[in-house]
């Protein structure tokens, strides 16, 4: 396409937006509301996803070694566990270290056990994929000189199912909002095409190709999407700034942490802008494809 022709299409798209100011306002408003909701959902879902990842990564298997085993046996067990496919890390803790941790957690009254320590030596094992924790735990439990294996059986599966369900629901809601925005822009372009149907017929009669007619409408949809994304970007950035300023100091040192303001907010802003452009172009394209048959 020649630059002169492209400039003609760009000018035509801006003229169409100006001529249909009320429909432009209605479409941009609808897209603004929709993208604002999408932006808020993205903030929530991405942070929930981080919380879910943090919880999953905090899951570990506690392996109790049988009493009265030799150091050589412990070393062999550590090698066996480390060689299991899917094991990320293995940390050994002696029963003395376990007792010290208990005393720190529950108080000096537990120091009475120091002379006859009833605890076990323990391996703390993490799986590369937290979802495979159960399978790794089963393999470890089959080894000799293992007294017990604990990883929160039953509760862990429920946690993973809940987190996966939350991710899926969030994705469905975001997709539903995107389709709503595409439908709104599609209707706006459709009304514009109907109003200018006579003009389009004349253009085609004098030899204009379908793409020559389509491009101004596609550009118009893109401008509507961009305009509709500007306010959501600003509001989402402001909202998340307030949330992080309030929450981060209070969550310092805790397991659950929010995503850092930067670069996350730049990523969300770019995503909202790209979604605005995409739904504008796609909505316009689908409307023209259906109604541009003269």
Predicted confidence (pLDDT) per residue in 166-179, tens digit: 878 888 887 887 78
Asked if residues 194 and 291 have their Cβ atoms less than 8 Å apart, the reply is yes
Q: List Cα–Cα distances, 278 to 17, 105, 224, in angstroms.
A: 18, 54, 11
pLDDT at 99: 80
pLDDT at 264: 92
pLDDT at 152: 77
- Which part of the chain is CATH 3.30.70.3040? 60-151
**Contact partners, residue 74, CB within 8 Å, separation at least 6:** 65, 92, 121
pLDDT at 1: 61
pTM of the complete model = 0.70
Structural tokens at position 124: 């703390």
pLDDT at 291: 57
| CA gap 117, 101 in Å, rounded | 13
pLDDT at 185: 66
| CA gap 212, 197 in Å, rounded | 15
| CA gap 137, 149 in Å, rounded | 7
pLDDT at 114: 53
**Contact partners, residue 39, CB within 8 Å, separation at least 6:** 232, 233, 235, 236, 268, 272
Per-run averaged pLDDT (10 residues), the chain, 294 residues? 72 74 78 86 86 80 89 90 91 86 66 66 90 88 90 76 81 81 69 70 76 82 88 94 87 76 92 88 75 56
Provide CATH code, domain 60-151: 3.30.70.3040
- In this predicted model, what pLDDT tens digit does every residue of 29-76 receive, in sequence order? 878 888 898 888 889 888 888 887 787 777 889 999 998 888 899 899
| CA gap 104, 279 in Å, rounded | 57
């Amino acid at each position: 396409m020649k630059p002169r022709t492209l400039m003609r299409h760009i000018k035509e798209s801006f003229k169409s937006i100006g001529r249909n100011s009320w429909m432009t306002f209605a479409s941009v408003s609808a897209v603004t509301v929709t993208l604002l909701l999408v932006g808020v959902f993205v903030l929530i879902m991405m942070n929930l996803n981080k919380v879910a990842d943090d919880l999953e990564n905090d899951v570990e298997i506690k392996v109790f070694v049988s009493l009265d085993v030799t150091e050589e046996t412990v070393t062999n067990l550590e090698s066996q566990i480390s060689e299991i496919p899917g094991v990320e890390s293995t940390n050994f803790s002696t029963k003395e270290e376990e007792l010290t941790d208990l005393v720190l957690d529950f108080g000096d009254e537990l120091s009475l056990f120091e002379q006859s320590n009833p605890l076990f030596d323990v391996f703390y094992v993490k799986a590369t994929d937290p979802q495979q924790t159960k399978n790794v735990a089963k393999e470890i439990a089959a080894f000799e000189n293992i007294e017990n294996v604990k990883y929160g059986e039953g509760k862990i599966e429920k946690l993973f199912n809940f987190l996966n369900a939350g991710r899926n629901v969030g994705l469905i809601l975001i997709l539903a909002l995107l389709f709503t925005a595409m439908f709104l822009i599609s209707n706006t372009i459709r009304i514009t095409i109907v109003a200018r149907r006579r003009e389009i017929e004349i253009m085609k009669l004098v030899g204009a190709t379908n793409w020559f007619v389509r491009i101004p409408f596609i550009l118009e949809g893109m401008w509507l999407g961009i305009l509709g994304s500007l306010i959501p970007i600003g509001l989402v950035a402001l909202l998340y700034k307030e949330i992080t300023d309030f929450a981060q100091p209070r969550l310092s040192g805790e397991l659950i942490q929010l995503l850092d303001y930067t670069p996350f907010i730049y990523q969300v802003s770019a995503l909202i802008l790209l979604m605005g452009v995409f739904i504008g172009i796609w909505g316009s394209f689908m409307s023209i494809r259906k109604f541009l048959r003269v």
